[in-house]
Amino acid sequence: MLLLTDAEELGLVGARALYAPGAAADPIADRTGVLINLEARGGGGRAMMFQTGPNNGALVDLLARTSPGANASSTAVTIYESLPNDTDFTPALKRGVAGLNFAFIGEAWGYHSPLMTPDRLDQGAVQHLGDSVLGITRALVTAPALPAATPSTVFASVPVMGIIAYPAAAGWGVLAAAALCLLLAGWLQRADWTVAGGLMAVGQAVLALLIAGLLMFGLNLLSGSVGAEYYDRLAALPRLEAIAGLAGLATLLLVAAAPAGTLWDRWLTWAHLGLLAALALQFVLPGAGPVFAWPALLAAVGAAIGALLWRQPDGSLAALLPAALLAAAGIACTVELAHFAMLGIGAPMPWLLAPLLLPLLSLLAPLVPAGPALAGRRGPALTAALASIALAAGIALWVNLDDRAASVPPYAGTEKKQG
pLDDT in tens, the chain (419 residues): 899 999 888 888 889 888 887 656 678 888 899 999 999 988 999 999 999 988 999 999 999 999 988 999 998 898 888 777 889 999 999 888 999 999 999 999 999 999 999 999 999 999 999 999 999 999 999 999 999 999 999 999 887 788 999 999 999 999 999 999 999 999 998 888 889 989 999 999 999 999 999 999 999 999 999 888 889 999 999 999 999 999 999 999 999 888 878 889 999 999 999 999 999 999 999 988 899 999 999 999 999 999 988 866 665 677 788 899 999 989 988 998 898 888 887 778 888 899 999 999 999 999 887 655 555 677 888 999 999 999 999 999 999 999 999 999 888 776 554 33
Amino acid type, 1: M
Give yes or no for a contact between 391 and 244, defined as CB atoms under 8 angstroms apart. Answer: no
Give yes or no for a contact between 106 and 125, defined as CB atoms under 8 angstroms apart. Answer: yes
Q: Which helix (H) or strand (E) holds 77?
A: helix 74-81
In this prediction, residue 372 carries a pLDDT of 55
Give yes or no for a contact between 287 and 386, defined as CB atoms under 8 angstroms apart. Answer: no
Quote the CA–CA distance of 204 and 108 in Å, as a whole number.
36
| Phi-psi domain of 32 (left: phi exceeds 0; alpha: psi -120 through 50; beta: other) | beta
298-328 core/surface letters (b: 16 or more CB in 10 A; e: else): bbbbbbbbbbbbbeeeeeeeebbebbeebbe
The model's pTM is: 0.88
CA-nearest of 134, 2, 156 to 77 is 156
Sketch the domain layout of the chain as residue ranges.
13-151, 170-401
